[in-house]
């Protein structure tokens, strides 16, 4: 069993807080990925969990026991580093068995355990070799084997794949995932690579400048980023983030920016608010040139129903460049003074210099408070948050309700 709780953990190096009051509850069997840009404090946090660095404040609990100042050997955790530091003069067998020999386990037990681990990691044929006779991926597996052989309650891994080339990284990612499924043990894994995080994690914890921005499943953090930082960090190309303003105009509450007109609801009032509007490149819906002008209201609309606002483009701009990615294309467009990237199957049918118009499904629109960067939700009074997936293919404009709503900080909902 290994549940790891981190409570208000802080580490200061001089004036600078490398980790600033971070709290995490890592359940037994979690594959938790600590993700963030270089220098954000990932290694510092992992090393405090391992007992290699003393915190300046806060606590670390292991299965409920306070181990904040306990030495590493009392923590039942094994660490795998980026530089896997195998003993060059020892065979694979002796490298893997090293932690057991240093604990003076009986020879037969060591032999047995090393065999098991070697089988699991597909190293059985290589036990007699020395590290220089192995490929990068094989060496990495030996390093994992050395951690595994002790049967620790938890594995702590610090960018273990970053010395491998792209193809090997993909393969090793798959092996680590399979290993996690087989062992069911707790893994805390540090990386700056969003693909590793998205593909391996059961939960992702995003760090920015020593602070925790969001913790959630890969789907949660991608679909509902809690902040502009998370929104911009995940995704390739990254989410379009456009400075905008929520305003009441002509009886509609809208998100407005040059070239951007996104209605939220069609009646009532809303104090003006500076926001950042976010839309992922793959969620923009290209409108045919004909519908760039507002469509007319259907005459047969029953009067008792909320009156839908006529569908019209949310974004209008001019195509600047189109990039061929093979299966897909990315078009860069100028919308007002902002850049908007759109991604879709090739060919998009766009040419540089031509006007372009996009819609966006209502549940794919992200709004953030401009000053704090925190996520906002908007709630039409007719019920149902747009972020609920019931309007899946409605355009943002068509999903607008006729009654007034409100814009709230996501954290208060």
Ligand X SMILES: Nc1ncnc2c1ncn2[C@@H]1O[C@H](COP(=O)(O)OP(=O)(O)O)[C@@H](O)[C@H]1O
Residues making contact with Mg ion (CB under 5 A): 43
Closest CA to 33 of 197, 214, 229: 197
Please list, in sequence order, all residues whose beta carbon lies within 8 angstroms of the beta carbon of residue 338, skipping any fewer than 6 positions away: 240, 242, 243, 257, 258, 259, 260
Strand partners, 378: 407
Tell which residue, 408, 409, 370, has the closest CA to residue 278: 370
* Closer CB to ligand X, 36 or 152, in the complex: 36
Cα separation, 331 vs 309, in Å, equals 28
- Beta carbon of residue 41, minimum distance to ligand X (angstroms, whole number): 4
> In the bound complex, what is the minimum distance in angstroms from residue 62's beta carbon to Mg ion?
22
Least spacing, CB of residue 174 vs ligand X, in Å: 24
Least distance CB 404 / ligand X (angstroms): 45
Shortest Å distance, C-beta 82 to Mg ion: 8
CA separation for the pair 25, 31 (Å, rounded) = 12
Residue 100 C-beta: closest distance to ligand X, Å? 30
> From the list ligand X, Mg ion, none, which binds 38 (C-beta under 5 to 8 Å, kind-based)?
ligand X
**Closest separation between CB of residue 89 and Mg ion, Å?**
28
Question: What's the CA angle centered on 81, arms 189 and 113, to 5 degrees?
Answer: 90
Residues 6+ apart with CB under 8 A from 298: none
Query: Minimum distance from CB of 41 to Mg ion (Å)?
Result: 8
Tokens 């926001």 appear where?
Answer: 275
Q: Which does 44 bind (CB under 5 to 8 A by kind): ligand X, Mg ion, none?
A: ligand X
Closest CA to 46 of 56, 32, 57, 30: 32
- Residue number with CB closer to Mg ion (50 or 365): 50
Which of 40/120 has CB closer to ligand X?
40
- Nearer to Mg ion by Cβ, of 39 and 289: the residue is 39
Indicate which of Mg ion, ligand X, none lies near residue 58 (CB less than 5 to 8 Å, by partner kind): none
Task: Report angle CA 67, 70, 73 to the nearest 5 degrees.
Answer: 110
Give the tokens for residue 407.
Answer: 């814009």
- Give me the least distance between CB of 86 and ligand X, in Å please: 22
Q: Closest approach of Cβ 34 to Mg ion, in Å?
A: 9
| Closest by Cα among 340, 373, 376 to 264 | 376
- Nearer to ligand X (CB atom), residue 2 or residue 208: 208
Sign of the dihedral through C-alpha 344, 347, 348, 352: positive
Q: How far apart are CA 366 and CA 90, in angstroms?
A: 54
Burial class (CB in 10 A: 0-12, 13-18, 19+), 145: buried
Q: Which residue is nearest to Mg ion (CB)?
A: 43
When the beta carbons of 204 and 231 are compared against Mg ion, the nearer one is: 204
Nearer residue to ligand X within complex by CB, 18 or 330: 18
Which residues contact ligand X (rule: CB under 6 A)? 13, 18, 36, 38-44
158 vs 329, which CB is nearer to ligand X? 158
Cα-flanking dihedrals φ and ψ of residue 100, to 5°? -80, -40
> Choosing among ligand X, Mg ion, none, which partner's interface includes residue 40 (Cβ < 5 to 8 Å by kind)?
ligand X
Rounded Cα gap, residues 217 and 68, in angstroms: 27
With CB cut-offs between 5 and 8 Å by kind, which of Mg ion, ligand X, none does residue 39 bind?
ligand X
Cα 189 to the chain's mean position, in Å? 13
Say if CB 274 and CB 371 are below 8 A apart: yes
Q: Which is nearer to ligand X, 179 or 201 (CB)?
A: 201
Contact partner, 41, from Mg ion, ligand X, none, Cβ < 5-8 Å per class: ligand X
- Interior angle at CA 89, CA 84 and CA 95, nearest 5: 50
Nearer to Mg ion by C-beta: 2 or 43?
A: 43
């Amino acid at each position: 069993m290994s549940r790891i709780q981190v409570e208000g953990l802080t580490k200061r190096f001089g004036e600078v807080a490398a980790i600033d009051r971070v709290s995490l509850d890592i359940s037994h069997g979690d594959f938790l990925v600590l993700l963030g840009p270089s220098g954000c404090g990932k290694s510092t946090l992992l090393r405090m969990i391992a007992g290699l660095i003393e915190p300046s404040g806060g606590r670390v609990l292991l299965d409920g026991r306070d181990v904040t100042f306990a030495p590493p050997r009392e923590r039942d955790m094994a660490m795998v580093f980026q530089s896997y530091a195998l003993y060059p003069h020892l065979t694979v067998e002796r490298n893997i068995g090293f932690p057991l020999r240093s604990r003076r386990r009986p020879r037969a037990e060591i032999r047995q355990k090393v065999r098991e681990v070697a089988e699991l990691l597909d190293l059985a044929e290589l036990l007699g070799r020395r590290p220089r006779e192995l490929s990068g991926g094989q060496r990495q597996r030996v390093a994992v084997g050395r951690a595994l052989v002790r049967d620790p309650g938890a594995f702590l891994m610090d960018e273990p794949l970053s010395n491998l080339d792209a193809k090997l990284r993909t393969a090793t990612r798959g092996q680590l995932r399979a290993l996690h499924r087989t062992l069911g043990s707790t893994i805390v894994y540090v990386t700056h690579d969003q693909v590793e995080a998205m593909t391996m994690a059961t939960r992702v914890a995003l760090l920015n400048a020593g602070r925790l921005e969001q913790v959630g499943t890969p789907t949660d953090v991608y679909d509902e980023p809690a902040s502009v930082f998370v929104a911009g960090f995940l995704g390739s190309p990254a989410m379009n983030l456009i400075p905008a303003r929520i305003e009441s105009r002509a009886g509609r509450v809208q998100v407005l920016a040059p070239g951007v007109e996104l209605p939220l609801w069609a009646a009532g009032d809303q104090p003006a608010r500076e926001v950042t509007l976010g839309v992922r490149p793959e969620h923009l819906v290209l409108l045919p040139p004909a519908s760039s002008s507002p469509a007319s209201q259907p005459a047969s609309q029953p009067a008792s129903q909320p009156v839908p606002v006529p569908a019209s483009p949310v974004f209008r701009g001019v195509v600047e460049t189109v990039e061929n990615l093979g299966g897909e294309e990315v078009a860069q467009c100028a919308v007002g003074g902002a850049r908007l990237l759109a991604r879709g199957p090739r060919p998009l049918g766009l040419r540089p210099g031509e006007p372009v118009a996009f819609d966006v499904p209502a549940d794919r629109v992200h709004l953030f408070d401009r000053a704090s960067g925190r996520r906002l939700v908007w709630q039409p009074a007719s019920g149902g948050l747009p972020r609920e997936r019931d309007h899946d293919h409605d355009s943002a404009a068509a999903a607008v309700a006729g009654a007034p709503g409100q814009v709230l900080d996501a954290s208060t909902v």
